[in-house]
Chain A
Amino acid sequence: MILNHIIVLIPISLLVFSFITFLLGTVRRSLAYPTALVGSAISVACSVVGLILVLQGGPIHYYLGGWPPPIGIEYVLDYLSAFMAVLTTFIGFISIVYSRKSFAQELPHKVVPLYTITLLLLSGLCGIIVTGDLFNLYVFLEIASLTAYALLAVGEKRAPVAAFRYVIMGTVGACFYLLGVGFIYFSTGTLNMADAAKLLPAIYDSRAIIAAAVFIVIGIGLKMALFPMHSWLPDAYTYAPSAVISLIAPLMTKVFAYVLIRMLISVFLPEYLSDVIPATLVIGWLAAAGIVIMSIMAIAQDDFRRMLAYSSLAQICYVALGIGLANPLGLIGGMLHILNHAFMKGCLFQVAGAIRYRTGLTSISKFNGLGKKMRWTMGSFGIAALSMIGIPPACGFFSKWYLMLGSIDAGNWVFVGVIALSSLLNAVYFFKIIEKVFFAQPDDDIVENAAEPPKEMLVPIVIMAVAIIALGLVNVYIVTNILEPVVNHVFN
């Protein structure tokens, strides 16, 4: 009986457990962490069961309130959303496990609201992923955005200012998305994604639909930090607390890239966005420019987290490049890169948090000799760095390979050159750190006294590093069983 309702339990379990965490936390502060852990574990279990059901039986549709679409709201669990749901809930669970010691050191008095807001953020992201209704997506986008603004604002130094800038730009992005949905509603009368996809081809020459597509692409691009609209991200990621950034950095921009893919394949069909209006062409070229410029800016940074923030900007432009190619191999490369990058960046930001926990250091020039003192942590960092550069069998190589195949398929040799050049640029900034960490002598007392982080922080780091290699080894299985049905359904 529960199996029928598994799809709605993914966001609702997180939502209900956030209320329970808040109530139990006001009674006794130490109950907040176990409750959050239990809620997150239930959602991981539900999303894994959902993925297994979808792999066996095909997409699942669920009518909320019992009303069929277009009268009511519909939830759809197809291959892409099941895949994203498993990724989001798993990284959420790992981050909550990682966060206990980190919050205890940085923000001990605010543990109860922090765990409540973390569960609400995960609930909002899962709600965005599984929904099949345009306005319902906006409601959960609001929940996810508000919680992200708050979590990024409780950092150090300039965190409130950086979060305020994110508030302004993020709210403008959400408003543009809502305006686009409004134009779609005026022109078709429905808010359901599948229904809109049926009704839109009749009105392709309507100016309102062109405006709707432009507004939605710009709005989602603002929230996704696509190249010209990225200026909120480096400051926001640099000053945030360590446990918060290891939750937000792998997930937030990727879920909005998923929204753009969903708009591309389920609402505005690819023929509209690539043939009728040149939207995907613009996205592709902005992404290519973004990859090169952001990688160059990452080389020049001294603060470790700021460098990782610019690196994240370059990586989300990879996904946008896959969307901009709008052919099967490019989309597969983009979607696979969402998965790979979440694990790679999650591991890297967790390593940064562990270094900060033990030594308080954040600038790269002082990292000399850390590899001898924090062996497991820096070993995981090495694996993640090799994966970012694109060396097999780590997973980063395979997504770049698919993107290159997609670019060759589209006949666009500039994109091939951009992907190869960016791998070289990644190698520059990561080898700089690897050389300092592994091959230099410790010259600082703080580094002399460094040790491995506590087990609750070390085990997530090692799990992520092992997952990076495991995902590289099983990527063929993932592509054939999960990602290829998505593109075959669209491009048949």
Chain B
Amino acid sequence: MKWFPIVVLCLFVGLLFYAEKDLPAFGDIEAPQNTHVSDEYIQRSYEDTHTPEFVTAVLADYRGYDTLGETSVIFTAGVICILLLTGNRKDDSKV
């Protein structure tokens, strides 16, 4: 069954090459990803948030809820390490 992963990988790469034809060119100024919503972020971020850096404004204000989700993913990883990697001791100490 060693050929099975190779076949799956070739299909995956083939699908990516197949889709490449209709993706917009790199750095295209008229591409939908650069005109639909990103344009509004760049235009409106200083007057909305008084922050010169619009990457931080998008990350923390317009899409702040995703940042909360990502921070709780980090918190989850910490609690999982506590769950799986401790508790081997016989005493009752914290962590």
Residues of A within 8 A of B (CB): 15, 19, 22, 26, 64-65, 67, 70-73, 109-110, 113-114, 116-117, 120, 123, 127, 135-136, 139-140, 142-143, 146-147, 149-150, 153-154, 183, 185-191, 199, 206-212, 214-215
Contact between A146 and B80 (Cβ–Cβ < 8 Å)? yes
Complex Cα distance, B36 from A199, in Å, reads 11
* Chain B residue at smallest Cβ distance from A11: B69
* Chain B residue at smallest Cβ distance from A29: B92
Partner of B19, one of A67, A123, A147, A208: A208
Chain A residues whose CB sits within 8 angstroms of the CB of B33 once the complex forms: 185-186, 189
Complex Cα distance, B15 from A120, in Å, reads 35
* Residues 53-76 of B contacting A (Cβ, < 8 Å): 61-66, 69-70, 72-73, 75-76
Chain A residues whose CB sits within 8 angstroms of the CB of B82 once the complex forms: 113
* Chain A residue at smallest Cβ distance from B24: A186
Chain A residues whose CB sits within 8 angstroms of the CB of B18 once the complex forms: 207, 210-211
Q: Assuming A65-B61, A72-B63, A143-B72, what are 6 further A-B pairs, CB within 8 angstroms?
A: A113-B80, A136-B65, A139-B66, A186-B32, A188-B32, A208-B23
Contact between B76 and A207 (Cβ–Cβ < 8 Å)? no
Complex Cα distance, B82 from A434, in Å, reads 42
Q: Which 8 A/B pairs are nearest by Cβ-Cβ distance?
A: A189-B36, A211-B19, A189-B32, A139-B69, A113-B83, A150-B80, A206-B22, A207-B22
Contact between B40 and A71 (Cβ–Cβ < 8 Å)? yes
Complex Cα distance, B41 from A444, in Å, reads 71
How many of B's residues come within 8 Å of A, CB to CB?
Answer: 39
Complex Cα distance, B66 from A307, in Å, reads 39
Is B29's CB within 8 Å of the partner chain A? no
| A232 → B minimal CB distance (Å) | 16
Complex Cα distance, B63 from A73, in Å, reads 7
Is B7's CB within 8 Å of the partner chain A? no
Contact between A71 and B69 (Cβ–Cβ < 8 Å)? no
Contact A146 to B77, CB < 8 A, known contacts A188-B32, A214-B15:
yes
Chain A proximity mask over B14-28: 1 for CB below 8 Å, otherwise 0: 011011011110000
Chain B residues whose CB sits within 8 angstroms of the CB of A140 once the complex forms: 69
Contact between B83 and A110 (Cβ–Cβ < 8 Å)? yes
Complex Cα distance, B15 from A29, in Å, reads 52
A70, A190, A211 interface centre (most CB from chain B within 10 Å) = A211
Is B50's CB within 8 Å of the partner chain A? no
Contact between A117 and B69 (Cβ–Cβ < 8 Å)? no
Chain B residues whose CB sits within 8 angstroms of the CB of A208 once the complex forms: 19, 22-23
Complex Cα distance, B78 from A116, in Å, reads 11
Chain A residues whose CB sits within 8 angstroms of the CB of B84 once the complex forms: 150, 153-154
Chain B residues whose CB sits within 8 angstroms of the CB of A136 once the complex forms: 65-66, 69
* Chain B residue at smallest Cβ distance from A127: B69
| B60 → A minimal CB distance (Å) | 10
Contact between A187 and B32 (Cβ–Cβ < 8 Å)? yes
| A211 → B minimal CB distance (Å) | 3
Chain A residues whose CB sits within 8 angstroms of the CB of B36 once the complex forms: 70, 188-190
Complex Cα distance, B69 from A277, in Å, reads 34
| A217 → B minimal CB distance (Å) | 12
Contact between A211 and B16 (Cβ–Cβ < 8 Å)? yes
Contact A135 to B66, CB < 8 A, known contacts A70-B37, A146-B73, A208-B22:
yes
Partner of A117, one of B31, B32, B73, B76: B76
Is B94's CB within 8 Å of the partner chain A? yes
Complex Cα distance, B33 from A142, in Å, reads 24
| B42 → A minimal CB distance (Å) | 12
Complex Cα distance, B38 from A150, in Å, reads 37
Contact between A187 and B76 (Cβ–Cβ < 8 Å)? no
Chain A residues whose CB sits within 8 angstroms of the CB of B65 once the complex forms: 64-65, 73, 136
| B77 → A minimal CB distance (Å) | 7
Chain B residues whose CB sits within 8 angstroms of the CB of A22 once the complex forms: 79
Complex Cα distance, B16 from A140, in Å, reads 26
Contact A65 to B64, CB < 8 A, known contacts A120-B76, A188-B36, A189-B37:
yes
Contact A117 to B83, CB < 8 A, known contacts A189-B36, A210-B19:
yes
Chain B residues whose CB sits within 8 angstroms of the CB of A73 once the complex forms: 63, 65-66
Contact between A211 and B83 (Cβ–Cβ < 8 Å)? no
Can you list 20 A-B contacts with CB-CB less than 8 angstroms, sorted by A residue number?
Answer: A65-B63, A65-B65, A113-B79, A117-B80, A117-B83, A136-B66, A140-B69, A150-B83, A150-B84, A183-B23, A185-B33, A186-B24, A186-B31, A187-B23, A187-B24, A187-B32, A189-B32, A189-B33, A207-B18, A214-B15
